[in-house]
Structures are given as C-alpha cells and as structure tokens.
Amino acid sequence: NAGVMQNPRHLVRRRGQEARLRCSPMKGHSHVYWYRQLPEEGLKFMVYLQKENIIDESGMPKERFSAEFPKEGPSILRIQQVVRGDSAAYFCASSPQRWGTEAFFGQGTRLTVV
Amino acid sequence: QQQVKQSPQSLIVQKGGISIINCAYENTAFDYFPWYQQFPGKGPALLIAIRPDVSEKKEGRFTISFNKSAKQFSLHIMDSQPGDSATYFCAASGGSSNTGKLIFGQGTTLQVKP
C-alpha cells in the first residue's frame, strides 16, 4: 500500500507564475489536509477537503490560493501569482476518517520562488 | 485559544539519556494529542498519540505524559540514541467544529550526541 504521494518534490517558480502541487492520498483515504511549513517553523493548517468538497479552508490565504479534490485524481493546491513569501514546504496528509485517527503525511513539495 | 506552545526549541542530549519535550494548550475541547517526528527533507511521521482519558501512554522508548488539569503534555524519549536526532512536533485536534485539523507546536530540534 503506497503512502501519500506528493509531486513534484521540488518546484521552482518565478514571481508571478502559478504553482500546482499534487497530492494522492493513501488508498481508501478520502480526507485530505494541506499544511504549510515555513523555514524553522511548525506546520500550519491550510485546508481540509473530502472528495469534491472543501470542508474547512480557515487556514488558507484569502487570495491567490485555492484547493480542490476532484472525484477522480489527486488533490491539487494551486497558488497563483506566486511571491517570495510563498516559498515553503507544503505537506499533504490523508486519513480514513476525520476525527482522531492517524493522519499520514507525504514527503512534501518544497516550493522556491525566485 | 487554538495555540499549542512547545518547549524547548532545541535540545542536546547524550546517548543513553532522557529527552523531554513539553507542550501546553489552551483549548479544553482538544481531545487528540499526537507527537510527530520529522527528519530533514521528509514529511512528519506519527510517533505516538494520546487521548485525555489516560494520563500516560508508552510505546517502546517513547512515553507521553498527559496532565489534563494543567493542560500540558510531554514526550519522554528514554535511552536516547543518535538515530533519534530529528525535529519533534506536538499537535492537538478536536473542538466543536472538529474537522480533524491538527494544530502544531513550533517544534523541537533534538540532537543526541554519541
């Protein structure tokens, strides 16, 4: 059973470009969470999705950021018009249910904005 | 109210010693408290977790102590080994809206000297 798969592992974008980060949850997991980790900091919750639904986006910046988890295919975190401050590691986690069970994390996508 | 405060920020322990990391929370509705271990360039991996109905949980060399009245919990690593050198994050989830999102502490970088 493959773990949570994130790609790409590393992504370099110029300021103003778009970044697309993909996350395939573990088999049988329908709950996906995205977290952002700035250098030397802890992980900050961004958004929680189930298939085709955004359940909680309270940690998502109001502009330029969006997320989706379609019926088929991976979850995607999209950052439009990236700025230097978006440089961070973005982690996806999946779980089989939303309450009190282990969330399995992917290896992360390290975004660098130049 | 949603914060989890973690200390110390960094910790150096001799091989065979005990590593102790502490966390404090404010939201009394939190009901799931996991600890994650993260190696450089990797995603966080669940180490051990506890719920507030028990005061202690032990798995191998790792023990969580939980003090509900003080709203504190700690991780003890017995017989610390160089391979334990990593960053450790405490986290909490729960509450009225309970989407399963994790609130992380700031992290503790542990170095175990041989």
pLDDT, one tens digit per residue, over B68-110 is 999 999 999 999 999 999 999 999 998 666 778 899 999 999 9
Q: What is the pLDDT of residue B100?
A: 82
Put simply, whether A108 touches B (Cβ < 8 Å) is: yes
Q: How far apart are CA A59 and CA A67, in angstroms?
A: 12
Put simply, whether A43 touches B (Cβ < 8 Å) is: yes
Mean pLDDT score of chain B: 93
Region A85-103: mean pLDDT is: 85
Q: How far apart are CA B108 and CA B66, in angstroms?
A: 18
* pLDDT at residue A1 greater than cutoff 60: no
Q: Are A77 and A70 in contact (CB under 8 A)?
A: no
| Residue B100: both structure tokens together | 């399963």
In chain B, the residue whose alpha carbon lies closest to the alpha carbon of A43 is B104
* pLDDT at residue B50 greater than cutoff 60: yes
Q: What is the pLDDT of residue B96?
A: 60
| A107 vs A42 pLDDT, higher one | A107
Q: How far apart are CA A32 and CA A21, in angstroms?
A: 13
* pLDDT at residue A69 greater than cutoff 90: yes
Q: Which of A10, A45, A90, A98 to mutate to test the interface with B (most CBs of B within 10 A)?
A: A45
Q: Are A33 and B97 in contact (CB < 8 Å)?
A: no
Q: How far apart are CA A30 and CA A49, in angstroms?
A: 8
* pLDDT at residue B2 greater than cutoff 90: no
Q: What is the pLDDT of residue A97?
A: 75
Region A22-46: mean pLDDT is: 91
Put simply, whether B20 touches A (Cβ < 8 Å) is: no
pLDDT category, B10, cuts 50, 70, 90? very high
Q: What phi and psi, each to the nearest 5 degrees, are found at residue B55?
A: -100, -15
* pLDDT at residue A94 greater than cutoff 60: yes
Q: Are A98 and B97 in contact (CB < 8 Å)?
A: no
Q: What is the pLDDT of residue A40?
A: 76
Percent of chain A with pLDDT over 90: 77
Q: How far is B107 from chain A (nearest CA, A)?
A: 6
A40 three-state secondary structure:
coil
Q: How far apart are CA B50 and CA B47, in angstroms?
A: 11
B61-91 in b/e form (b: 16+ CB < 10 A) is ebbbbbeeeebebbbbbeebeeebbbbbbbb
Report cis status (omega within 30 of 0) of the bond before B114.
Answer: no
